[in-house]
Structures are given as structure tokens and as C-alpha cells.
Structure 1
Amino acid sequence: MDLRIFTEPQQGADYDTLLKVAKATEELGFDAFFRSDHYLTMGGAGLPGPTDAWITLAGLARETSRIKLGTLMTAGTFRLPGVLAIQVAQVDAMSGGRVEFGLGAGWFEAEHTAYGIPFPKEKFGRLAEQLAVITGLWATPVGETFDFDGEFYQLKDSPALPKPAQAKVPVLIGGMGAKRTPELAARYADEFNVPFNGLDATGTQFGRVREAVAAAGRPAQSMTYSNALVVCVGKDDAEVARRAAVIGREVDELKENGLAGSPAEVVEKIGRYAELGATRFYLQTLDLSDLEHLELIASQVAPQLG
């Protein structure tokens, strides 16, 4: 069972704060440090302001040595696919081959308006072409060129450089779309993620993806299934309540929709997701100053998961 720390820096975190969390993630034995890709807070002042996902990961690539690094999810509206392929390949090389690449269509229109980023109406078709371009560039043998003639993107005689350090950068796709999302995952993804949904919705979506994987002729075991869930663990009820209050949430709501409560309660809830096929969890950590929270999870939750 992989436990990964997932942060939301647009809510207010500078690079130094993220570095402290990433180093704690590594030292405490977690599998990976992931972050969102947003430029605008979704509540609160968001001070000192946004940090760029791939610039952050480039820095962390040089200041960590073991943990995987990635995004849930890189916004497809923020970057041209050719440029993004270069950026991710470079960070992968800088990390010694520790990048995992999550890509989504982009959805938060207000952040596009705030920073002058075009927000196209047709995002899913663009996402499909972005995946084709990025994976195609990486897979092109050195010395050969890559061409692509799509509706949204055209590339001609690209040298398809640089290459990532890994022979195959793991690709993550997620979401709750009933048809096109599972089909896209079956075509391109190594991992499928269900974000912030309960057991029933998770089971339904995992089932759709399994069907799409089978229809694509892929081995069932070639897809990893994961969940992203907010985490709020405490040694006792008072500590759980304190941590919930800090992030502006109610304990009962967190227990219903996330991983909250005592270590035993959280282990039991993870087990229920695991019965549906999840083998990896992205623990959305909203109070980045509370490193004792990570220590508790590492010492009291992780050892019970095997």
C-alpha cells in the first residue's frame, strides 16, 4: 500500500514551506510528494501567492533523493504539450527518474481569467491530443523525428528531445467521466485516480476503467488504481477536532468524505477502499505547518497497512 502526501499550495504556501513538507515526506517513509497545479486560491487570502507546479518540482528534484514527485493534476490549459513534454522530461532527469505525470483537462475558469490564460470551451479533445503528443514525443527513438497533425495541435519534424531519465514516465489520469475518461485512461494511463469521492462512486468508476482496460486488450494488472482523499488524523477525539478546525472542516463531514479520525478508524476506511482495488492513496494535507500530523500517520497508520 502506497501512501503519498498531496498538497494544495495555491491555498497559501511558498517554496520553503513545500520543501519542508517534501523533506518530511521523504524522511518519514512516505512514497511520494505530489502537489496541485493551480494559480488561484479557492478560499482565503492565498498569501504569499501561487507557486508554479513544475518549477516547484524541479527544485524538489534536486533537494530530495528517494520519493516520487508529481502533480494531481497538471492543468492541460496552462501549457502547450510540446513545452510540457520538455519540462517534465527535464525534471525527471533532474530527479534521477522519479517523476510521475498526472494530466487533466483544467477546470477552474477564474484562475485563467485572473492570469490571462485562455480557457477553451473544448477541453477534453485537447487533453486527448496533449496525451498523444507528450507520450509520442517521449517514445520517439533518439535520432528520429515526431509529427502530429491534430485538430488542436500540429508538430512537424520535432527532434522529440530531451528524453526523460525513465524509459517510461508513469502517466496518471483521473476523474469521474463515465465513458471518455475511462477510454482515455485505458489508452494512455498507468494509474487511474478517483479524486475526493466515496466508496460507492469509487467502486463504480474503478469498474468502468477495468472494463475499458479489458476492451483495449491490456492486462488487468497493468493499471494501478488510487484515491485522493483529505486526511485528518488524531491520537484522540480532541486532536482530530483541533486539526479539523484549523482547516475549516467539520469532523463528521471529514469522516464521511475523507480519511479522518483515530489511526484505527483511518486504517479501517483505507481497507474499505482497498477492497475495491485501490492500492495507492494521496493524502490531501491542508495544514502544511503541521508536520506532527505526518509523523502520526507515518508511525500509527502506515505500519498497519502492510
Structure 2
Amino acid sequence: MDLRIFTEPQQGADYDTLLTVAKATEDLGFDAFFRSDHYLHMGDVDGLPGPTDAWITLAGLARETRRIRLGTLMTAGTFRLPGVLAIQVAQVDQMSGGRVELGLGAGWYEEEHTAYGIPFPKEKLARLEEQLAIVTGMWRTPVGERFSYAGDFYQLTDSPALPKPAQSRLPILIGGLGLSRTPRLAGTYADEFNAPFASVEDSQTLFARVRKAAEEAGRKGDDLVYSNALVACVGKDDAEVARRAAAIGREVEELKTNGLAGSPAEVVDKIGRYAEAGSSRIYLQILDLKDLDHLDLIASQVGSQLG
């Protein structure tokens, strides 16, 4: 089971804080550092000092880390034109030496679009499908050849489709809880399907739908990695779990139901149930980015037991 660290910087984190967490992620042996792609805080927080851009952040981290994978859960399709996104991600992949993964979603948080003057179209999933076709098509186009695309929302004519990522196949992640279109998109385009904040039972259902969709697209179900994103709140005893839950404004029992919370033994047991459902990778949503002891505990007492 791979363990990856997943952060939500829109809730309040500057680049230096993210760099500190990314370096701890690398030093402690986690597989990857991922971040959300949002420009507005959520819930009862002020979001200070303000948002950071996902791909600018990852470009910086690409030069300041050496081993960990870097990526987004999920880049909002509403934020960037697909041709520009293909350039940005390929460049950051080159800057990292081939360690980048692109999680791409439709975009959903209307308030942040209103706050920053970003259009919020109605046809987001249809646009996402065209974006996936364009980004993957540009990267697949051999050097020296041209890429064109005529869609309902995006048109590219004689694009040189440059630059190319450092990786011969840069992994694409698609996630969500949809029961039809999302599995179809994942089965067609994704290297990994992520079930965000889903129960063990719901994850098993979603994974099965994606496997079926992949087979209908002429692929094998095992061509994809299946993963989960879950909030983490681990403590060496009940008092430490309660302190960490309070720090992120959550209740312990709710976290135990909906996330990975409790003692290391409890969390290892629950991760095992996700593994039985077909998950081979967990994105640990870390909401208190100042609590590096939390990462240390997870690495030493959870990760060490998973193999």
C-alpha cells in the first residue's frame, strides 16, 4: 500500500509551509506530495495568507525535492485552457526529472470562480472529456508532427504539441463518485482512479464500475491503479487523537467513520479493509500542516506496518 500526503493549501498555507511539508514527506519515506487546486478557502477559516497556485507550487517543489512524486487532486478543468495546461504540466515534469502526475477534474466550487472572475460553464464534464483528449493527444504526438482537435468547446490547429513531459507516459488521475460518466472517462483516459472520501463499500462499487468501463474501452481492469483519499487523524493515544481532531475542527467519531482516525493499530486495520476492496494507494489528507509530528507518527507506526 502506497501512502501519499495530500494537502489543502487554500485553507491557509504559503509556499514555505508547503515546502516544509513536502520535504518532511520525502524525508519520512512517503511516496508522494499532492495538493488541491483551489483559490478560495472553505468552511470556518480565513484562508490567510491567501491562495497559492497549484502548478506554480509544484514547479518550485520540483526543484527542491529529489524523490517524491508530485501532483494534484484535482486540477480544475475550469482554471486553464487544455493546451496551456499540457505545456505547464510537461514543463514541471521536466523540472522534476519525471516525477509529476496530473489529476484532472471538471471543477466544482462556484464561489471561487465568482471571487476571482473565472468563468463557471455549465458543460463542465463535457469540457473535461475534451480536455483529457487534448492533453493526452498532445503528449502522444511524435516530435516533428502536428496535433489538431476540433471539439465543441476547444479547437487546436496544427499545434507543435510541445514541450513533451520527461516521462514517456505521464500518469493521469481521474476521480469522483459519479456512477456512469466518471467511470467511463477513467476507463478511457486514466492511469489511476481515485475514490475521494468514500467508504470501503462505496469504493468497492466504484472500482468495479471503472474496471468494467476500462474493459469496454479495450483495456484491462488492472491497467489502472485504484486509490482513495481520506482525511488522517492519528494519535498514539486517545488524548492525542482528540487534540488533533479539535485542531482541524472535527469530531473523533465522525473521523473514525469517514476517515482514517484513531490509534496506529486502528488506522492500519482500516487501511487493510480498503486494500481488500481493491485500493493500493491512500492519499492522506493532512489538514494541520504545522503538525509535522503527525506525519512522523504515521510514517513510523502506520507506514512501517503496511509493507
How far, CA to CA, are the matches of 2:5 and 2:191 in structure 1?
19
Please tell me whether residue 74 in structure 1 is matched to residue 97 in structure 2: no
What's 1:285 paired with? Answer: 286
Partner of 1:7: 7
Contact 2:101 2:173 in 1 (8 A): yes
The Cα offsets for residues 47-80 of structure 1, whole Å up to 9 and x where unpaired, read as 0000000000000000000000000000000000
| Deviation of the 1:257 alpha carbon | 0.1
- In the aligned structure 1, how far is the partner of 2:68 from the partner of 2:258? 27
Shift of 1:224: 0.4
Which amino acid counterpart does residue 259 of structure 1 have in structure 2?
Answer: L
Partner residue, 2:261: 260
Name the CA distance, whole Å, in 2 between partners of 1:272 and 1:48: 38
Deviation of 1:87 (Å): 0.2
Aligned position for 1:42: 42
Q: How does 1:199-238 map to 2 (within 5 A)?
A: 199-238=200-239
Give the match for residue 195 of structure 1: 196
**2: CA distance between counterparts of 1:76 and 1:234?**
36
- Tell me which residue corresponds to 1:54: 55
Number of the residue aligned with 2:90: 89
Q: Distance in 2 between matches of 1:163 and 1:228?
A: 29
Unaligned runs of 5+ in 1: none
Match of 2:150 in 1: 149
- The DSSP-based 3-state class of the residue aligned with 2:38 is coil
Question: Match of 1:217, SS?
Answer: coil
* Count of aligned positions: 306
Paired residue for 1:185?
186
Q: What amino acid is the match of 1:191?
A: E
Counterpart CA distance in 1 for 2:34 and 2:304 is 21
Q: Residue in 2 aligned with 1:28?
A: 28
1:201-240 superposed Cα distances (whole Å, 9 cap, x missing partner): 1111111111111212212221100000000000000000
Q: How far apart, in 2, do the equivalents of 1:108 and 1:297 lie?
A: 31
- How big is the shift at 1:108? 0.1
SS in 2 for 1:245: helix
**RMSD between aligned residues:** 0.5
Deviations 1:30-59 (A, max 9, x none): 000000000000021000000000000000
Residue number in structure 1 paired with 2:162: 161
Q: In the alignment, residue 180 of structure 1 is paired with which amino acid?
A: R
Aligned-residue sequence identity (percent) comes to: 77
SS of the residue aligned with 2:20?
Answer: helix
**Contact 2:78–2:120 (8 Å) recurs in 1:** yes
Q: Which residue of 2 aligns with 1:111?
A: 112
Q: Deviations over 1:62-104 (max 9, x none)?
A: 0000000000000000000000000000000000000001000
Name the counterpart of 1:271: 272
Structure 1 partner of 2:126 = 125
What runs of 5+ residues in structure 2 fail to find an aligned partner? none
3-state SS of paired residue (1:40): coil
1:149-180 Cα deviation digits (max 9, x unpaired): 00000000000000000000000000011111
In structure 2, distance between residues paired with 1:81 and 1:136: 11
Q: In the TM superposition, what is the alpha-carbon distance from 1:296 to its structure 2 partner?
A: 0.2
Secondary structure class of the residue paired with 2:122 = coil
For 1:142 and 1:206, how far apart are their aligned partners in 2? 35
CA distance in 2 between counterparts of 1:198 and 1:100 reads 25
